[in-house]
A and B are shown apart, each in its own frame.
Chain A
């Protein structure tokens, strides 16, 4: 089980995956918006999205859990 956390303060601009989706290492989970850039949040391993902790429009702080891959 791997928690994917926000690397920086950002707005959640787009959610790409849903809970239960299979993902591979490097897949985009959500796209954040910060520093006027669209910043993809990537899976750091293969697995299934067991928890998706954010929705579009949320503000995440550095270190917040975005998703859990198991």
Chain B
């Protein structure tokens, strides 16, 4: 790699200048520009593919620059931000280009879980330029960002499928359907700003000062009086945090929320069920989404806060065929393996297998709190008696049957369920006033010796 003074400011350099607030002399190599500098005061290494050189296609020299930039970030222990706009491997350089792209992937994998790797896709990113971002921790998509294995022209030629770039690889497919993209931005500047915000959150994590915990609204203010009524858990998350956090994969598997934010000034990762979507059930996609987030937080030493209101894992043919057992198991594994402080708050209900997955004591939670009236059980009492008293109930009809279910459910709840039983068993440490949630969670986090996981962040 040779240092080349820039004669003209390319699109790639201008994007890097927009990202960085200070920068040092940079390197340009065959369509890739690398700079070191700071974002909001945080040191980073950044690179950008230059779409004005052969459409940003990745050749041997350019790939070496990206791999070196990634290695440099690891040596310095700072985040690396990549700005992608590239047609993929350079056809003219043949298999040598493929080998070079492979070396980028190897460098990204070496760096995985060691330093935050953030990608901003501002134009079409095909093939290697799609998998490059996909191997990183967070992918931010600008309004013109498109991510695909190969573009519409090749798709049409090889399969006959007629599709445009937007539908193949735009914000809708990757923000909502595939989960490839973590944050969709409406402008390029917003996308770059989001990457900067992530770099700061993950690199400058801060520490909790319990004596100076900012006052926030009571997080239970969002809870409806009627237990069956759905509500938006995002309000609860924001009230528990110091302010609005950065939600990842907001529109993909929205029944679980994954949010990076600050609590008492310290970066934390929040995983929460959202009853507004799918009733807050865990399913195959949301289990996988939460699992990846947990592993990312663990790798970077970010404490985990679980806010729980979950009726169960979503049952049925669709889910079984979609791998709810295999993909749901990822969350169990990720959570049980995590080394960072783990704090759970059951805000309303937590049932069955989903109880286990959502930060249970048995999986290793350091602290488990519940709000008054929280329900914790294998299943809801009325569902349980339908199973336990199937024969007896089969002899009854109509109102008589309904009355029997209510009577049996009450007896069942007294006998087996109830929050007190969970407290007595040591599965819940304390029932807390919702207004004290922040203090309880912060207090629990600082009690745990701070370590980070040794895992890489495989893109689950």
Q: Which residues of B contact A40 (CB under 8 A)?
A: 230, 276
A–B pairs, 24, beta carbons within 8 Å: A7-B277, A8-B278, A8-B279, A8-B281, A8-B314, A8-B316, A8-B318, A9-B316, A34-B279, A35-B312, A35-B314, A36-B228, A36-B380, A37-B275, A37-B280, A37-B311, A38-B228, A38-B229, A38-B230, A39-B279, A40-B230, A40-B276, A62-B316, A62-B318
Once the chains are docked, how many angstroms separate the CA of A37 from the CA of B314?
12
Q: A7-B277, A8-B278 are in contact. Are A37 and B316 (CB under 8 A)?
A: no
Interface residue B383 (Cβ < 8 Å from any Cβ of A): yes
Number of A interface residues, CB 8 Å? 13
Given A36-B279, A38-B228, A38-B229, output 9 extra A-B contacts at Cβ < 8 Å.
A8-B279, A35-B314, A36-B383, A37-B230, A37-B280, A38-B230, A39-B277, A40-B230, A62-B318
Contacts of B314 in A (CB 8 A): 8, 35
The listed residue (B230, B312, B316, B383) touching A39 by CB distance below 8 A is: B230
A17 → chain B closest CB, angstroms: 17
Q: Which residues of B contact A (CB under 8 A)?
A: 228-230, 275-281, 311-312, 314, 316, 318, 380, 383
Pairwise interchain contact B281-A35, C-beta atoms closer than 8 A: yes
A-B pairs, top 4 by smallest CB distance, nearest first, are A37-B279, A35-B279, A35-B311, A62-B318
* Contact digits for A27-50, partner B, Cβ 8 Å, 1 yes 0 no: 000000011111110100000000
Contact (A36, B311) CB under 8 Å given A7-B278, A8-B278: yes
Complex Cα–Cα for A34 and B316 (A): 12
Query: Closest approach, in angstroms, between the C-beta of B283 and any C-beta of chain A?
Result: 8
Taken together as a complex, chains A and B put the C-alpha atoms of A37 and B229 apart, in Å, by 7
Residues in A with CB closer than 8 Å to B318 are: 8-9, 62-63
CB-based contact B311/A39 at 8 Å: no
Closest-CB distance, A36 to chain B (whole angstroms): 6
A4-39: contact bitstring with B at CB < 8 Å (1 yes, 0 no)? 000111000000000000000000000000111111
